Amino acid sequence: MDYRKTLVDDDFVVPFELVTDQFRLRMLSINDLIKDYDAVMSSVDHLRNTYSLISGSNWPVGLTLEEDLIDLGWHQREFTLRYSFAYTVMTLDETQCLGCVYLEPSRKSSFDVVVSMWVRVSELGNGLDSDLYGTVKTWISELWPFPKPRLSRQGNHSRQWKKIPDDL
């Protein structure tokens, strides 16, 4: 990540939350630790299969609560510095974390932001992944200053994405 440049200009008002009739998207923070950890641990195999092709890691296999706290703190700090933006996907009553959405700088000049997302395994059958993708796609195009976003659903950009050379 290039920490010399923020993802958005200083005068851009970063959306704090997005509320639909199904879920609430808001900044991911250390206060979400228990709910986030529960969502991640409920979907370990699914997330490992999704992200191993992209990052080459086994995340989140073996993730500890302490490591998740560090990860959330890092996401929270990058959000406040405007380097990247991590949002938690919560039920409307905030009792359960349903997944996450990440906006990160692209290392490929053909895109100005990479937007990735995941939902917990228990929500795949009811179509939340499709609903989240559609909602986020509209949200990015209407509210964010990214003319060339790269949106990715769970596990949907791994091999093709790796074929595009990094040039930034």
Task: Please write the tens of the pLDDT for every residue from 110-160.
Answer: 899 999 999 999 999 999 999 999 999 999 999 999 999 999 875 545 555
In this prediction, residue 2 carries a pLDDT of 58
**Measured distance CA(34)–CA(56) in Å, rounded:** 26
From the list 44, 93, 104, the residue with the least C-alpha distance to 68 is: 44
Inside any domain, residue 13: no
Inside any domain, residue 3: no
Inside any domain, residue 32: yes
Range of the domain at 155: 24-163
Confidence band of 28 (pLDDT split at 50, 70, 90): very high
CATH number, domain containing residue 118: 3.40.630.30
Inside any domain, residue 4: no
Tokens of 16: 């704090």
In this prediction, residue 107 carries a pLDDT of 86
Inside any domain, residue 153: yes
In this prediction, residue 147 carries a pLDDT of 96
Inside any domain, residue 55: yes
Inside any domain, residue 7: no
Inside any domain, residue 1: no
Assess contact for 115 and 101: CB atoms under 8 A.
Answer: yes
DSSP letters spanning 65-115: HHHHHHHHHHHHHHHHHTS-EEEEEE-TTSS-EEEEEEEE--SSTT-SEEE
**Measured distance CA(105)–CA(83) in Å, rounded:** 8
In this prediction, residue 160 carries a pLDDT of 58
**Number of folded domains that form the chain:** 1
In this prediction, residue 45 carries a pLDDT of 84
Place of tokens 């560090």: 70
Task: Please write the tens of the pLDDT for every residue from 44-97.
Answer: 888 887 766 655 666 676 789 999 999 999 999 999 999 999 999 999 999 999
